[in-house]
Structure 1
Amino acid sequence: MSFPAIHALFDFLAWAVSLTALLLLRRTWFSERPVEKHLRFGYLVGVLFGAGAGAWLFGTLNLWVSGIGGFGRSIEGAIVGAVAAIEIYKRASGITVRTGAIYALPMALGIAVGRIGCLLSGLVDNTHGIATGADWGWDFGDGVLRHPVQLYESLAMAGFALVYVAMVATGSARWKRDGFYYAVGFYAVQRFVIEFWKPYGALVAGLTVFQFLSIVLLGYALVMAVTAERAAMLQRP
Structure 2
Amino acid sequence: MSPHVISYFLTIRAILFGIKVNMHLVLEYLAFFVGFRYYLYLRKRTTDAISTNNRLSIIIGAIFGALFFSRLMAFLENPPLHYSQGIISLLNNKTIMGGLFGGLLGVELVKKVIGEKQSSGDLFTLPIIVGIIIGRLGCFLAGTKEFTFGKETNFYFGMDLGDGLSRHPIALYEIVFLLGLFFLIQQLQKSRQPLKNGSHFKIFMIGYFSFRFMLEFLKPNSYFLFGLSSIQYLCLLCLLYYYKSIGEAIRYAYKKLYLL
Q: TM-score, normalized by length of structure 2?
A: 0.79
2:140 match:
119
1:33 match:
49
Q: Is the 8 A contact 1:66 1:201 kept in 2?
A: no
1:78 match:
99
> Structure 1 stretch 104-113 or stretch 148-157: which is displaced more?
104-113
Kindly provide the amino acid, as one letter, of the partner of residue 155 in structure 2.
A
- Per-residue deviation, 1:226: 6.0
| From 35, 40, 46, the counterpart of 1:23 | 40
Alignment partners' CA distance in 2, 1:166 and 1:175? 15
- Per-residue deviation, 1:26: 1.1
* Equivalence map 1:56-67=2 (5 Å): 56-64=71-79
- Per-residue deviation, 1:212: 0.6
2:199 match:
178
1:14 match:
31
Would you say 1:213 and 2:234 are equivalent positions?
A: yes
Kindly provide the amino acid, as one letter, of the partner of residue 168 in structure 1.
Q
Alignment partners' CA distance in 1, 2:215 and 2:70? 18
Percent pairwise identity? 27
Structure 2 residue runs without a partner (length 5+): 1-12, 15-19, 250-260
The alignment's C-alpha RMSD in Å is 2.4
Alignment partners' CA distance in 2, 1:135 and 1:41? 46
- Per-residue deviation, 1:177: 4.1
Kindly provide the amino acid, as one letter, of the partner of residue 131 in structure 1.
E
> Structure 1 stretch 134-143 or stretch 10-19: which is displaced more?
10-19
Larger radius of gyration: 2
Structure 1 residue runs without a partner (length 5+): 229-237
Alignment partners' CA distance in 2, 1:187 and 1:154? 11
Q: TM-score, normalized by length of structure 1?
A: 0.86
- Per-residue deviation, 1:225: 6.4
Alignment partners' CA distance in 2, 1:26 and 1:225? 28
